Amino acid sequence: MEDRPVTLAYSVDADDLFMFYALLEGKIDPGGLTFEHRRHDTMTLNRTALAAAVDITAVSIHAYAHLADHYLMLPHGGSIGVNYGPLVLAREPLAATDLAGRRVSIPGKLTTAALTFRLICPDFDERIIPITPFERTFEALFTGEVDAAVVIHEGNLTYEQRGFHRVLDLGAWWWEETGLPLPLGGNVIRRGLGMERIARISALLRRSIAYALEHREEVMDYLLARETRQDEALKSRRLLDTYLSLYANRDTLEYPPAALEGMRELFRRGTAAGIIPHPVDIELAP
């Protein structure tokens, strides 16, 4: 056994637990490695990664631009929007051009959703509302605390039944602009682990994702039985199935070339807009 557990941090969302189910529940042989699992909201994950405080972590793709000195991007574990992505919602019908100067909530400064929205609408009154507790964003919209909200994760599937209007689909906008997928989140691994250990861990995490894809119904049963969802709508097997189809699919096993090009283009545009402070090279782990 290794002397020190490997710290593995990921979000409170179903797609992340889907990826790491096999590892967490002993469905695959860890090959002498032990893992300490930690789960946090997206903003906390990004902040923890900036401090290089964990070995492996899920992060927003935007956040990677600020922490690439300490982490390699793993070639698997990505959440990719192919002509879909985070939504901008409002209480009333609005156009994207109506949002300049308005109070708009984002789920964290370093989220990919925030970066993409800022490329579209650079002049808005920023309000940060983390996704935990999940209902907080919808409450802010309902009460008029904000005029619009950038919403990620399962809120994209349930907003209509709550009576909100879609202003913009950021992934669809990106696709129309570039013809590329919008890479939203990914997993990174600390460079200080050394390349030999990084390669071992990367292979194991790929096996965990492959197990989940091959045993999808088993993992869905586990998620529905185990998770206390912030959004009760994801107690629905139908919605969970839809959600996983969007963000935990064959592209999660390995970034396709178009997704990596989407990542590079996002960094190029973010740098040109002054949102990302310097050009970013994407370095993939084995």
| CATH number of the domain to which 93 belongs | 3.40.190.10
Same domain, 219 and 92: no
Domain end point (choices 124, 157, 178): 178
Neighbouring C-beta atoms of residue 196, cutoff 10 Å: 9
Same domain, 51 and 104: no
Q: How many helices (H) and strands (E) does the chain have?
A: 12, 11
Burial of 95 (0-12, 13-18, 19+ CB in 10 A): exposed
In contact, 182 and 81? CB cutoff 8 Å: yes
Q: Is the confidence at residue 233, as pLDDT, over 70?
A: no
Amino acid at residue number 203 = A
Same domain, 26 and 155: no
- Domain annotation covers residue 232: yes
Reported as a single tens digit per residue, the pLDDT across 115-170 is 999 999 999 999 999 877 778 899 999 999 999 999 987 667 778 888 899 999 99
Instruction: Please confirm, yes or no, whether 153 is among the known catalytic residues.
Output: yes
Rounded CA separation 59/46 (Å): 5
Q: Is the confidence at residue 222, as pLDDT, over 90?
A: yes
Same domain, 65 and 197: yes
Radius of gyration, CA atoms only, the chain: 18
**Residue tagged active-site, from 153, 165, 215, 278:** 153
- Domain annotation covers residue 109: yes
Domain end point (choices 111, 144, 178): 178
Structural domains counted in the chain? 2
Domain end point (choices 178, 193, 215): 178
Same domain, 28 and 169: no
Same domain, 70 and 192: yes
Containing structural domain, residue 107 = 87-178
103-106/148-151 β-pairing: parallel
Neighbour-count burial for 145-177, b at 16+ CB within 10 Å, e otherwise? ebbbbbbbbbbbbbbeeeebeebbbbbbbbbee
Same domain, 150 and 26: no
Q: Is the confidence at residue 283, as pLDDT, over 80?
A: yes
Reported as a single tens digit per residue, the pLDDT across 98-123 is 999 999 999 999 999 999 999 999 99
Same domain, 91 and 168: yes
Q: Is the confidence at residue 261, as pLDDT, over 50?
A: yes
